[in-house]
């Protein structure tokens, strides 16, 4: 069965957009991918290290020792971890062992950038924008300050 020409072009354009997103991401985050740095901020964005990284490590240790998140006595007098089960889906680094979480944060972020960029690229294609606009739009959204810091 032959694939219509329009579908082949759409698949090729999506693949090209994905490669562009990965190339720009590798260029922007090269220090974290190849330079041995970790994507944890110690200045104005310390909540990435003090709050989120600590929660990822705690959840990782908990699911390895106890199983499904419920009540944990490792924080103060105890705390319910059922609300953190969303991290298991939205923050996949929480499945990793403790020593791999910090280096894997950049890959998790690039995965989210790639997914967001490809969805937005396809959305702009469906809105019938012409050739360079969907790629530019997906690049601008994926590497905006909201995506990089948020």
| Digitized pLDDT (tens) for each residue of the chain, 150 residues in all | 565 666 777 888 889 999 999 999 999 999 999 988 988 888 877 878 888 888 899 999 999 998 888 888 887 788 888 888 888 899 999 999 999 999 999 999 999 999 999 999 999 999 998 888 999 999 999 999 888 776
Q: How far apart are CA 135 and CA 124, in angstroms?
A: 9
Q: pLDDT at position 69, please?
A: 86
> For 112, what's the count of Cα atoms within 13 Å in the CB-facing half-sphere?
17
Q: pLDDT at position 150, please?
A: 60
Q: pLDDT at position 92, please?
A: 93
Q: What is the DSSP letter of 76?
A: T
Q: pLDDT at position 84, please?
A: 82
């Amino acid at each position: 069965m032959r694939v219509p020409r329009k579908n082949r072009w759409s698949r090729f354009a999506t693949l090209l957009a994905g490669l562009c997103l990965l190339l720009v991401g590798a260029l922007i985050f090269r220090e974290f991918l190849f330079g041995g740095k970790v994507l944890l901020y110690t200045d104005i964005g310390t909540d990435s290290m003090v709050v989120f990284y600590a929660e990822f490590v705690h959840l990782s240790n908990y699911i390895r020792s106890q199983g499904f998140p419920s009540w944990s006595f490792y924080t103060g007098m105890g705390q319910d971890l059922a609300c953190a089960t969303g991290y298991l889906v939205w923050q996949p680094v929480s499945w990793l062992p403790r020593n791999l979480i910090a280096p894997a944060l950049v890959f998790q972020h690039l995965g989210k950038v790639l997914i967001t960029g490809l969805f937005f690229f396809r959305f702009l294609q469906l809105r019938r924008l012409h050739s360079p606009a969907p790629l530019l739009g997906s690049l601008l959204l994926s590497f905006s300050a909201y995506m990089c810091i948020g």
